[in-house]
Amino acid sequence: MSDNANQAPGSVLTWDEVKDGASEIFNVWVLGSEMQWAERAWAMLEKAGLTTYRDAVEETLVLVLLLALAILYWDFCRLGADEDIGWDELNEHATENLGIEPFRLAQVVGPAFEADDYRTEGTELFESALRHVIVEERPAIGSVVSKGYGDDWTFLKALFASIKLPVDPPEDGDEEPAADDEPEFAPAAIVMGWIMEGMPCR
């Protein structure tokens, strides 16, 4: 019998369990719908099996995936809307909003982790480890979410649509709202180039 056959099927870290923390890290626009975008993206990751864990170490990795998803969104905000959201509050988001424990994160990265590869001026060991996991997991997250929308253009439009609240459906007898959900060409072209590159960290 294989080792996998002896393993428990695992638990799923659901959106309901992470949405309170997510509301702090997906908090960009005054009247945006980024939380709705994040919830849909999390459902895609869940469907792909990326939110399943069997122990505290794997649960920590799933929490870092949520942070990585937020950073992917922040990169879009910077490229598509000139909203500069950096990594300055990475430690706070990880520990206070998501409850990531340094000891568990150390178990995730393992003894072979080289902090200097991800360290910048003023960056502590904990943040260097976070950056390491985020960079390593980013391609998988980006691929799952972009494919979840069917094609790159639909994914791009969903990103830009999250900047504002969704339009309420018209009441009976009311006219349909004007179609204004097409993003402007210049920022859309920049974001599309980034998507086609695989959405690297900016």
Please give the residue range of the domain that contains residue 52.
Answer: 11-166+179-196
Q: Is residue 171 part of a domain?
A: no
Q: Is residue 80 part of a domain?
A: yes
b/e per residue 149-158 (b: at least 16 CB within 10 A)? beeeeebbeb
Q: Is residue 28 part of a domain?
A: yes
d(CA 145, CA 192): 14
Name the stretches of the chain with pLDDT < 50. Answer: 1-6, 122, 169-170, 175-179
Task: Quote the number of domains for the chain.
Answer: 1
Q: pLDDT digits over 20-44, tens only?
A: 999 999 988 888 899 999 999 999 9
d(CA 80, CA 186): 9
Paired tokens of 157: 């439009």
Q: Is residue 6 part of a domain?
A: no
Q: pLDDT digits over 103-118, tens only?
A: 999 999 998 887 766 5
Q: Is residue 5 part of a domain?
A: no
d(CA 164, CA 17): 25
- E strands, the chain, are 11-12, 52-53
Q: What is the pTM of this model?
A: 0.85
Q: Is residue 174 part of a domain?
A: no
Q: Is residue 191 part of a domain?
A: yes
Q: Is residue 69 part of a domain?
A: yes
Query: CA triplet 196, 153, 47: central angle to 5 degrees?
Result: 85
